Amino acid sequence: MISNPISLLLLLVFFTVIVDGKGGEHIPTTLDGPFKPVTVPFDNSLRGHAIDLPATDPRVKRNVHGFEPEQISVTLSSTYDSVWVSWITGEFQIGDDIKPLDPKSVASVVRYGMLRYPLSHKAEGYSLVYNQLYPFEGLQNYSSGIIHHVRLTESIHYGFVGLKPGREYFYHCGDPSKEAMSDIHSFKTMPVSNPISYPGRIAVVGDLGLTYNTTSTISHLMSNNPDLVLLVGDVTYANLYLTNGTGSDCYSCSFSDSPIHETYQPRWDYWGRFMQPLVSKVPIMVVEGNHEIEQQAENQTFAAYSSRFAFPSEESGSSSTFYYSFNAGGIHFVMLGAYISYNKSGDQYKWLQKDLANVDRSVTPWLVATWHPPWYSTYQAHYREAECMRVEMEELLYSYGVDIVFNGHVHAYERSNRVYNYSLDPCGPVYITVGDGGNREKMAIKHADEPGNCPDPSTTPDEYMGGFCAFNFTSGPAKGKFCWDRQPDYSAYRESSFGHGILEVKNETYALWTWHRNQDMYNGAADQIYIVRQPDRCTVQPKATRPWRRAFY
């Protein structure tokens, strides 16, 4: 049901413009589906290989002095009334003998306000340094610059009130005692959470890396003026390099004799510098991918990922940087970790149960989930790799009415019909894979349903995801087989190209999804659809303990 008269009025106005896209083109809705599967043939003129930006590129070189801030970024807290500002001061060290910087030597201060002058509010945070250490002769160790994280709120002398929704705030960061403050930047807070307030545009991208294709992706993305960026894993691909800076688009092919999977951590600093013009003003929310594992001494992993980004973990009741949630207007986002325990007995699953049970769909009608490796992908690369995670978590997400799932990992684009347990289901989520950000590894082109492309089941498990769950199908057109013989019914559209996506939630039932290829004009969309919620058909009770609903075509 439409919950209030204002929403009904907006919906009636919306229906007058929904029919036509740009140039009078009809935009389909999920109500028109399920759609006949579409495969767009690969364009051989595209750069399937991507070349990394060199350290000499002006966009990745350090251009500050002393302890002046660099690599500045903004991250959302769990609600609109708070954000995190992060930055780095001091130079990283790399070599055999390194001495970490002292985080206490530089203050973590942000001055901010709704006017550029004066910046009337002040917040202080914390700082840290992380190390990437390799106990093998000849490998270079790394110690980061000082990483700062400061949470901004707005307080007045008689109490805490929080940042105001949908407002522009100006800020600069650094250590005022050292005359090491940044230039003034700005960001915009998210709308208040209710069924009629949404961010204008949310950019979704995965598997970015730092290549010339990446630069095209980010240029196109910025031209769409997003209010929020979701990065669905695989950030810098620093682990495609040896510690001496030698890189390859296939680490295992080129460096099979390495005693440990090395990384070249300065690639993280290059990435942070390149991204600053975007993420210093547009909040970015990140979930970990397999390229962030970065194993080092004593089996420590994810050091760079967990240190460089701020996460609203504590604010959302999580004890981990690998899973958390947040609201952006009337959307509740759940970010999940695929490379830590996702079993029903584990902390992440228990946290997810509690988080979903506390979602009030009368306040945040839309529920979006994100993790790195897709459950529903028809490409040969990483085919059914995350099957164990699907077996553990799919029923829970379905029962709480997740509307959309975003994934990366597969270096191509794919959008599903609504699906649950490999069957078409009008109450299942729409799964969208956007692992096409432009990284150095090869683009995914082959499909598992094409002759000769079905992988051996024994090769599909990922060592960091654990277990083997990808058995032959027991029902449907692929019964008795590991792969379909044609593009599966649940796959609506697939295409191998670099690009990004934009989500525009219009109201509590309609959201426009568009996918933008790098080779197209900035305002062109290769794939577009209105995703329509059906709360009457797919009932989800607000803040229920465990609502269960089931519907079939």
483 DSSP assignment: S
CA–CA separation, 530 and 230 (whole Å): 19
CA–CA separation, 500 and 515 (whole Å): 6
Cis omega (within 30 of 0) for bond into 118: yes
- Asked whether the beta carbons of 89 and 174 are under 8 A apart, the reply is yes
Half-sphere exposure of 217 (CA within 13 A, CB side): 30
Report, as residue numbers or ranges, the catalytic residues.
Answer: 382
Kindly list the domain boundaries of the chain, sorted by start residue. 1-32+201-453+489-553, 77-189
pLDDT at 540: 78
Q: Are strands 126-128 and 202-205 parallel, antiparallel or unpaired?
A: unpaired
The one-letter amino acid code at 295 reads Q
Which neighbouring-strand residues pair with 171?
112, 185
pLDDT at 21: 54
Q: Which of 118, 180, 183 is nearest to 145 (CA)?
A: 180
Can you read off the two tokens belonging to residue 235?
Answer: 């950030």
- Please give the C-alpha separations between residue 271 and each of 74, 144, 226, in angstroms, as whole numbers: 15, 14, 19
H/E stretch holding 529 reads strand 527-532
**Which residues, including other chains, have CB under 8 Å from residue 146's CB and lie 6 or more apart?**
67, 88, 89, 90, 101, 102, 103, 105, 106, 127, 128, 129
Which neighbouring-strand residues pair with 183?
none
CA–CA separation, 144 and 132 (whole Å): 8
H/E stretch holding 221 reads helix 212-223
- Asked whether the beta carbons of 493 and 527 are under 8 A apart, the reply is yes
- Please give the C-alpha separations between residue 361 and each of 17, 216, 250, 364, in angstroms, as whole numbers: 26, 37, 44, 5
CA–CA separation, 535 and 553 (whole Å): 16
CA–CA separation, 374 and 234 (whole Å): 13
Half-sphere exposure of 340 (CA within 13 A, CB side): 20
pTM (two decimals): 0.93
Q: What is the CA radius of gyration of the chain?
A: 23
Distance of CA 324 to the CA centre of its chain: 12
- What is the residue-wise DSSP string for 390-413? HHHHHHHHHHTT--EEEE-SSSSE
pLDDT at 24: 60
SS (H, E, C) 144-198: CCEEEEEEECCEECCEECCCCCCCEEEEEEEEHHHCEECCCEEEECCCCCECCEC
- Asked whether the beta carbons of 537 and 423 are under 8 A apart, the reply is no
CA–CA separation, 349 and 366 (whole Å): 21
**Fold (CATH) for 1-32+201-453+489-553:** Purple Acid Phosphatase; chain A, domain 2 (3.60.21)
Residues of the chain with pLDDT under 50: 1-2, 9-17, 19, 157-160, 544-553
- Per-residue pLDDT reduced to its tens digit, 40-84: 999 988 766 789 999 999 999 999 999 999 999 999 999 999 999
pLDDT at 25: 75
- Asked whether the beta carbons of 130 and 157 are under 8 A apart, the reply is no
**Fold (CATH) for 77-189:** Immunoglobulin-like (2.60.40)
Q: Identify the three-state secondary structure at position 543.
A: coil
- Asked whether the beta carbons of 261 and 207 are under 8 A apart, the reply is no
Residue with tokens 């979704």: 204
